[in-house]
């Protein structure tokens, strides 16, 4: 019926589902290259899958549809790209080979914990392509808030837990009662047990402790200033 139709705009309408069968869509729109479904009423992933029935489709616009409202921006784009293997442009942005692979791997990990009856067919296609993937490790990139260190002063060694969000000056105040020295008469050195260069003087009072990379088991050396 529409053998030469290249672009179809169905944006801003109440279309809630694509009722035609896959075979009908392929037959009716053999040369459709671009379709816009911005702000339509689509609310089902099966309707997105039906877009694969257009044999020459390569560009899709799908912003503002009810189906995607509960997903994050990253999830929306990656899940759409993974479900639409033939498109080369989504919502006006070109899909690179790297982005497609990232999206397809994301898709596998996204659905790997779902019950079998809820896993889409595309998941099994991608498992055939990439194999079963391991879940991504969760890495906490927040700076450590505290560390257990050894404080050495003369012949004394005391283990302390120190806050890493404080400054060198604040740490010296904390050490006053341990070493019985005033902060003005205190030289403080940090020794990283993995560093090859020996102790580092903590000479800048306003420097934050977390910037030294202090870890559990590291050592602090306190010495009185020479008179």
> Which pLDDT tens digit goes with each residue over 153-211?
988 899 989 999 899 999 999 998 888 889 889 999 998 766 667 788 998 999 988 88
Say if residues 63 and 39 touch (Cβ distance below 8 Å): yes
Per-residue confidence (pLDDT) for residue 171, from 0 to 100 = 93
Per-residue confidence (pLDDT) for residue 136, from 0 to 100 = 67
Per-residue confidence (pLDDT) for residue 103, from 0 to 100 = 95
d(Cα 118, Cα 124) in Å, to the nearest integer? 12
Q: Which residues pair with 187 in a beta bridge?
A: 223
d(Cα 219, Cα 159) in Å, to the nearest integer? 9
Mean pLDDT of 79-93: 96
Mean pLDDT of the chain: 90
pLDDT level of residue 133 (50, 70, 90 thresholds): confident
Say if residues 193 and 219 touch (Cβ distance below 8 Å): yes
Q: What percent of the chain has pLDDT over 70?
A: 94
Mean pLDDT of 216-220: 89
d(Cα 150, Cα 1) in Å, to the nearest integer? 81
Say if residues 186 and 164 touch (Cβ distance below 8 Å): no
What is the three-class DSSP state of 93?
A: strand
Express each pLDDT in 29-73 by its tens digit.
999 999 999 999 999 999 999 999 999 999 999 999 999 999 999
Query: Which residues, 6+ apart, have CB-to-CB distance to 162 below 8 Å?
Result: 146, 147, 149, 171, 174, 209, 214
> Which contiguous run of DSSP H or E holds residue 24?
helix 22-28
Inform me whether the pLDDT recorded for 21 exceeds 90: yes
Half-sphere exposure of 196 (CA within 13 A, CB side): 0
Say if residues 69 and 41 touch (Cβ distance below 8 Å): no
Inform me whether the pLDDT recorded for 137 exceeds 70: no
Inform me whether the pLDDT recorded for 138 exceeds 70: no
Max avg pLDDT among 89-98, 137-146, 208-217: 89-98
Question: Mean pLDDT lowest for which of 105-114, 136-145, 217-226?
Answer: 136-145
Mean pLDDT of 143-156: 87
Inform me whether the pLDDT recorded for 213 exceeds 80: yes
Per-residue confidence (pLDDT) for residue 67, from 0 to 100 = 94
Say if residues 86 and 95 touch (Cβ distance below 8 Å): no
Query: Which residues, 6+ apart, have CB-to-CB distance to 100 below 8 Å?
Result: 81
In this structure, what are the phi and psi dihedrals at residue 144, rounded to the nearest 5 degrees?
-60, 145
């Amino acid at each position: 019926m529409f053998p030469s139709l290249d672009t179809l705009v169905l944006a801003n309408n109440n279309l809630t589902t694509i009722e035609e069968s896959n075979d009908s869509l392929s037959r009716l729109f053999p040369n459709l290259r671009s379709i816009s479904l911005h702000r339509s009423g689509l609310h089902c992933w099966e309707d997105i899958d039906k877009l694969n029935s257009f044999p020459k489709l390569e560009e899709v616009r799908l912003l503002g549809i009810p189906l995607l409202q509960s997903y994050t921006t990253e999830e929306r784009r990656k899940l759409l790209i993974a479900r639409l293997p033939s498109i080369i442009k989504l919502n006006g942005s070109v899909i690179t080979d790297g982005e497609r692979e990232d999206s397809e791997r994301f898709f596998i990990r996204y659905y790997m914990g779902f019950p079998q009856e809820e896993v889409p067919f595309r998941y099994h296609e991608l498992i055939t392509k990439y194999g079963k993937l391991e879940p991504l490790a969760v890495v906490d990139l927040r700076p450590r808030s505290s560390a257990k260190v050894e404080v050495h002063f003369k012949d004394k060694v005391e283990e302390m837990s120190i806050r890493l969000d404080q400054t060198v000056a604040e740490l010296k105040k904390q050490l006053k009662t341990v070493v019985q020295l005033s902060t003005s008469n205190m030289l403080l050195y940090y020794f990283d047990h993995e560093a090859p260069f020996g102790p580092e003087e903590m000479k800048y009072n306003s420097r934050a402790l977390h910037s030294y990379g202090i870890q559990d088991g590291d050592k602090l050396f306190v010495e009185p200033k020479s008179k």
